[in-house]
A and B are shown apart, each in its own frame.
Chain A
Amino acid sequence: MSKGNLTRRGVLKTGAVAGAGLALPTYLSAQESGFTNAPTGSTVTLGFNVPQSGPYADEGADELRAYELAVEHLNGEGDGGMLQTFSSKALQGNGILGKKVEFVTGDTQTKSDAARASAKSMIEKDGAIMITGGSSSGVAVAVQALCQEAGIIFMAGLTHANDTTGKDKRANGFRHFFNSYMSGAALAPILAAQYGADRKAYHLTADYNWGYTTEEAVRSSTEALGWETVGTVLTPLTQTDFSSYITPVLQSDADVLVLNHYGGNMVNSLTNAVQFGLRERQVNGKQFEIVVPLYSELMARGAGSNIAGILGSQNWDWKLENQLGAKYTGTNAFVKSFGEKYGFPPSQAAHTCYVQTLLYADAVERAGSFQPCAVVEALEGFEFDGLGSGPTLYRAEDHQCFKDVVVVRGKENPENEFDLVEIVEVTPVEQVTYAPDHPQFAGGALGSCNNGA
């Protein structure tokens, strides 16, 4: 029944090999440079981790376009884009620290696990020195934590929840995009000015982390200006038909509907709301209004004519410099090179990703090293201009960028599918700045930067 010799030998062999594997002296792996994936040859690899499938695949595709453009400009190809307008002149167009920039791509599938697996393979297999991208806060937070552990810099892409630079902030992670709090702070005064200070708001909120922080931000900002919140209802993320959530709105005495939804959710809920005639409705002698805190061009395209007249906030818009002048210099340079390469204007996701790549490259140049801690030091408290959003600060306390927030409204008569929103106002940075220990960002700690191996 049993064949002792065979298996004992096998067990011994396994044990010996496993033991050898575990006991191999670590000097083999010790890198002289003292940090993970130090570039040794004439090239440096960046990892672009974006959703290529799933609900945010459109955003992901646009982010990838921006990354490819950024790499071209860093390597001195093309017209240089924002490198011409960037206030820091450290970048020479000869790669980063003289090393040619190469990149690897991965698919996050908008799932934390898949995103982490993809990021890990970039770090472990492809030797990426920096990871960037993502189109959802869940993914951004997950990958940021991974990069912290591995000793890699993470430059967040499109992530709007407070948590990314709030309770889940990490020393190796940086966010250029704005957040829920800023949306609320930027929108509230304009809402009050446009619709009056005695409004009753009803919130429909996507039932996950980003939804909660956005609802909280918009609620507290509008209530501070005299609005009343008459109802908040959570809707499942997978919901496609919101009729059953709209009916109670009709029965309440609310006169504003706030849709804390993003992507496909927002397209569907907004379409339902308009179909129910909410836009024509009169309550308490006032015109009923709909608000979408986080706007994106790609969502506007999906919602079609339903977005006409609806207010929301954006991180950036490609028309900024044309309409509001030279303060937002860089915008036109970027739109021009993006348009020439791809034939249409970039989205705000593309903008934030492009800028993040340049900011990283610039920080490395200024630090004179790829070492993560040196890069963190170069980025912390860094003030810059000429990247399309006006004067901007990378705050040291939470690694969040502070800049003006754009408030937009859906156009009544759009001329083409890329010009769906009009800029209503730009809320200056002072109004959206908050203390690092603001209650909406409480908990969590940056920790200290990690160089990895």
Chain B
Amino acid sequence: MFGLDKKDASLLLIVAVLVAFAPFLLNPFPEGSAMAQFNAGYPDLMQRFVIFGIFAIGFNILFGLTGYLSFGHAAFLGVGSYAAVWMFKLLSMNVIPAIILAVITAGVFALIIGYVSLRRSGIYFSILTLAFAQMSFALAYSVLTPITGGETGLQLALDDPRILDGANQTNNIPVPGFFGMEMRDSTDLVLGNWIFTFNVGYYFAAIIMLISFYVSIRIFRSPFGMMLRAVKSNQQRLNYTGLNPRPYTLAAFVISGMYAGLAGGLMASMDPLAGAERMFWTASGEVVLMTILGGVGTLIGPVLGAGMIKYMENIISKINADILHSWFAFLPDGLEDLVVTMIYPFIGKGWHLTLGIVFMLVVIFLPGGLVQGGQKLAGLFGRKKAEDTKTATTEPAE
């Protein structure tokens, strides 16, 4: 089906099922229990999971296949967001034109930056992309304030034209929607103590993520993908065989930039505000972390990495000292304080520290990322069959 072989089709199917049932899977703990702190099934975070999943999938097409490490990918995400918000301001609150323009703008932007940056490879390429991204950030933050809103970010206003939507009836700013379905609409399903939230925006983003994932599988399995792998394994040899690798790498760069633009457009659709911080170099670094954490060059890895980082950023960082005290209240006083003091540096604002440790452990013990961890587990518990299939599974394209 869809031109996928059995293994890829089942991977796509697994991802689709996971994504569809995410509101259940991410809310395993009943409301009001102590563990409810770890529930991640609220709309905003679920949207982030899939949107950053798209971002990381796109980044992986460049980094995983060609080996070109771009340190400026957040610039495309930011450009996509700005384009989308401008569409909301000028044209319509429907998300479709916003997303289309976001992808196109990011693509054009990637074409220009890629054309210049791809003249160099290795560390020089990384530095060039980093420089372009920081340049975009600086422009968006101050010089281009009339277009980008500067530090405050680009926001919707009551008196925006929105020429396709007609006059604004209410005295409130309209919200982005998909032909009448508002992105923020949610329905709650209450089952005993559990509350599961189904959000329109999440499922909209999830469907786009599945399409992106499918396209990425097709690229990985195509002759084009094979050429990109050739660039990664030995570019000089490719040159000597009389092939010019640059059109291929540029195409990969632009595709990957368009993925980032798509993610940016979706972010703006879920939450119509675009800020310059989205283009900051730490944001570019984050997608590199996501991809490496999940597994470079694997299909599902970047999505897992994105999920992992966003989970830690939003859940671990919300645990504060009071919550810790309530968890360990059963311990004697002195011991309680000791335990809390020992854990405290790793939660709340210390979530970066926890992330750093996890990242180091993964890089040292699982160079193939979380995907390799999964394969190792499968190898441990699986029968002999697991051994056989392993040779055929998606090896990281190192």
Contacts and interface: CB of A to CB of B under 8 A. Distances in A.
Interface residues of A, number: 65
Contacts of A237: 141-142, 151
Contacts of A443: 157
B353 to A, nearest CB: 11
Contacts, number: 177
Interface in A112-155: 112-114, 116-118, 120-121, 124-125, 136-138, 141-142, 145-146, 148-150
B152 A168 contact: yes
14 contacts: A2-B1, A2-B9, A6-B1, A7-B9, A8-B1, A22-B181, A28-B189, A53-B352, A107-B349, A118-B314, A121-B44, A125-B39, A146-B271, A448-B171
B337 interface: no
A56 to B, nearest CB: 13
- How many B residues touch the partner, as a band? 35 or more
B170 A448 contact: yes
A29 B190 CA distance: 9
A112 B275 contact: yes
A55 B48 CA distance: 25
Contact of B153 (A2, A29, A138): A138
A286 B363 CA distance: 63
Given A10-B17, A117-B44, A21 B173 contact: no
A94 interface: no
Contacts of A424: none
B285 to A, nearest CB: 14
B4 A14 contact: no
Contacts of B186: 29
Contacts of A106: 317-318
Contacts of A113: 275, 277-278
A259 B313 CA distance: 35
B317 A209 contact: no
Nearest to B190: A28
Interface in A435-449: 443-445, 447-448
Interface in B127-162: 138, 141-142, 145, 150-153, 155-159
- Most B-side CB within 10 Å, residue of A6, A148, A161: A6
Contacts of B16: 10-11, 13-14
Contacts of A114: 277
Interface string B344-358: 000011001000000
Interface in B201-256: 203, 206-207, 210
B138 A236 contact: yes
B151 A210 contact: yes
B217 to A, nearest CB: 12
A215 interface: no
Contact of A120 (B210, B271, B349): B271
Given A24-B189, A24-B198, A208-B142, A137 B170 contact: no
